[in-house]
Structure 1
Amino acid sequence: MGKIMKGAAALLGVLAAAEAGGSAYLYRRTMIRCNAKTERTMKMSGVDWEKYIPMMKARREWMMEQPHEDVWITSHDGLKLHGTYFKGGEGNRAVICFHGYTSEGLNDYGSLSDYYLKRGFRMLLVDLRAHGQSGGEHIGFGSMDRFDGVRWVDWMVEKTGGDAQILLHGNSMGSATVCMMSGLKLPPQVKGIVSDCAFTSMKDVFTHVLHSMYHIPAFPMLQIADRANRKQVGYGLDDCDSSREVRKATVPFLFIHGADDVFVPCWMTEKIYENCASPKTKLIVRGAGHGESYYKDTEGYEKALDSFIGRIMK
């Protein structure tokens, strides 16, 4: 019996070490800047991006021909954050755009710039912390980025003037960011928020990926990763949840999601939508995967934007 007990203890020790090692690997792979790779994220999205490259390339080239400049702010915790500012028609309409996981502002909004800049909007494409030219090593998944976002809004108000009419537009992690921002006190110049394929929380999206793509249980890996994140940056994987933050929202929302999203399932936006306390509308694009809605149905997407902006801006 003693040998059996010792063997069982040894086995449990090996399993615990394996779980700890796996959790550490998950944490480093997904939440530390130097290990999070764009190629891996694009593959996990399940979208065939090759067919959209001609459109992306042409619109990005046109965008970069428009007057623009690099701009910088400092976060509340001392990080130097970068954005690319396009002056557009230099009127009082402006959009601040927040990109997805492992991307950057110029990458995610090269195509949508065709919509906003041709309608005279000032356009600010921010690099979220630990992305692009912004500082930081720990990826925030919206929890810290929401505070950075408010600072970018202040920057835009100062740039545009007190009569500014500002739209926040987020994609994927950037979408979770703008949803989480809605729970904060936003300046009155923020007139609306566009949320495209948002996730509810880090915990939910990590659980989904572990189950659906790696076919392994989330427990206890996420609990270990949660403790690591609390120790490193001061908050857990479920401390900030888009579906909870929008209960405090007062700014109107347009929610968009692809019905065939396998990376961030559509039920997450449905849950956020149900909880949202402010005026809201939604567009679910049939056949669209993660972040694909604009490309799958460009006309429908732009019509939804036209209708939404027409209601919230003069």
Structure 2
Amino acid sequence: MDEGLTEATAIFVQKDKQEWQIKSSNTGNQLYGWFTNNNDNVTVIMVHGFGVDHTSLNVHAQLFDKLGCNVLQVDNQAAGKSEGKYLGWGYLESLDLLDWIKKVSLERPDDKIILFGASMGAATVMLTSQYDLPKNVKLIIEDSGYTSATDILSYHCQKRYHIKGKLLIGGISLMSKLRAGFSYRQTDCRLALAKNKVPMMFMHGKNDFTVPFEMRDELSTCGQFGKRTYESLGVHIRSYYVDSKNYQVAVENFLEKYL
């Protein structure tokens, strides 16, 4: 990690945070988030990835805190303190993100909102872009997001087990539909981006072997909206860790142009 990031993150973690709660309008689960108030008129909602919780984005959260933004770090359903039984590959989480947007709009009606997501959280914010978002949602930043659940599972089936896994993934998708209420067809970020109208930045590392870098180029060519791209030599969700200065400049320039 670049010099100074560990110390800066530790300072951010110690800042006062308000615990927010909402009930998912989709599942009824109780969801939790932590709000860091910088008395700014910009709030960044931060969505974490698969198998972790909101603390996994503390390093990124301190960046937005340093830029003066308010920060809302949420626990997805079935993660951290939030209730729930299933992860949704970004689809279920996108429905919950709509509820978090409503919560911020209710608590802070004058705030501009930025959506930031990493990995599955990146898929979440991209999938959320297909909905009719309120006008106070100004920008979206995705870091290391995949094109769809089917694509990323197929990629790892071939990489790890040297099989295409088409029937296996199809069977899992059917089980997901029966148990969790969604199929993997609903996780296609390309279809969502075709409907998006919000400026978006695509941030990926060339040494990402969890989500192949090529997915960034595929995603960033979808839809007609304001776009920025950024790349580093980092691995999965670690661009900011090893290229913090350029990463911060890219974010600042994106905010300056579109916010």
Which of the five TM-score ranges fits, normalised by the shorter chain?
over 0.9
Unaligned runs of 5+ in 2: none
Amino acid at match of 2:172: A
2:34 aligned residue: 84
How far apart, CA to CA, are the structure 1 residues paired with 2:203 and 2:30?
31
2:248 aligned residue: 302
2:225 to 267, 278, 283: 278
Structure with greater proportional helix content: 1
Report the alpha carbon displacement of residue 144 of structure 1 after superposing the two structures with TM.
0.9
For 1:231-275, what per-residue CA distance to the aligned partner results, in whole angstroms no more than 9, with x for missing partners?
112221222311110000110001101112111111222111111
Whether the aligned pair in 1 keeps the contact of 2:17 and 2:35 (CA below 8 Å) is yes
Whether the aligned pair in 2 keeps the contact of 1:87 and 1:123 (CA below 8 Å) is yes
For 1:133-181, what per-residue CA distance to the aligned partner results, in whole angstroms no more than 9, with x for missing partners?
11111111111111111111111112222x2111111100000000000
Percent identical pairs in the alignment equals 26
1:147 to 95, 100, 107: 95
* 3-state SS of paired residue (1:238): helix
Unaligned runs of 5+ in 1: 1-51
Whether the aligned pair in 1 keeps the contact of 2:139 and 2:258 (CA below 8 Å) is yes
1:293 aligned residue: 239
For 1:97-118, what per-residue CA distance to the aligned partner results, in whole angstroms no more than 9, with x for missing partners?
011111111222x112332112
1:60 aligned residue: 9
Report the alpha carbon displacement of residue 56 of structure 1 after superposing the two structures with TM.
5.7
Does the alignment pair 1:312 with 2:258?
yes
Whether the aligned pair in 2 keeps the contact of 1:92 and 1:165 (CA below 8 Å) is yes
Amino acid at match of 1:79: N
How far apart, CA to CA, are the structure 2 residues paired with 1:185 and 1:256?
24
The alignment's C-alpha RMSD in Å is 1.5
TM-score by length of 2: 0.95
How far apart, CA to CA, are the structure 2 residues paired with 1:54 and 1:213?
34
* 3-state SS of paired residue (1:103): coil
1:45 aligned residue: none
1:261 aligned residue: 208
Amino acid at match of 2:238: E
1:39 aligned residue: none
